[in-house]
Structure 1
Amino acid sequence: MDASHHIVAILPCRDLDASTAFYRRLGLEVASDHGHYRILEDGRGWHLHLREEPNTPQAPDNPFGLYLYVDDVDAVADRVREAIIQPGTPHAMPWGTYEFAVSDPDGALVRVGRVLAE
């Protein structure tokens, strides 16, 4: 895999500090801070850019979503257990993943999971 070939989401948020705190619970840390723009990463491949935007849509109208792939889904779920949207998750989904979902402070859907072995 070419390390320079990847995609990064730029996610708008109303409160940069609240969003940063939320994504830290999922395992991301601030790599660089540019005032109203922060770059977060986990050192293993997750990258997320947060852009402070006062007009960011709020739940239930927020159309944004992220899918974070990780091997140890249960460990991440333990860090945000009280915020998991669907009770009884993480669990195997019909589409072949083991996952759970949470909402970030602005209502963006964040799914965390892994592909199940075939």
Structure 2
Amino acid sequence: MGALYLAVLLISLGCMLLLDRRFELFFWRDAVSASVVTVVGLIFFLVWDIAGIANGIFLRGDAAIATGVVLAPELPLEEPVFLLFLVVCTMIIYTGAVRLVAQLRQHPRAQEGRS
């Protein structure tokens, strides 16, 4: 049960990438830009985490569902995977919302008929 959290994170990330593939929202729309955004976002959040750890704000804690592998003091293996999921999920939601709003603006009468 020690890798449950990591497994759930990886499965969730995989599901987000399947949504991305189906609707061509992020990586399947522009892989180079998506990769840059993902790497920059991941680095930003890792620096944020390291600053929080250095200031004693973020603590690892012990959980039975975690692997127990620590990359640095108070930085478990699951944290970068979670941050990767966070960035990818946010960008897929954002690009999907932008597409949805654009479609609603193109067809405003379709929305009036539903009201």
TM-score by length of 2: 0.24
TM-score by length of 1: 0.24
Q: Which has the higher strand share?
A: 1
Q: Which has the higher helix share?
A: 2
Q: Radius of gyration: which is bigger?
A: 2
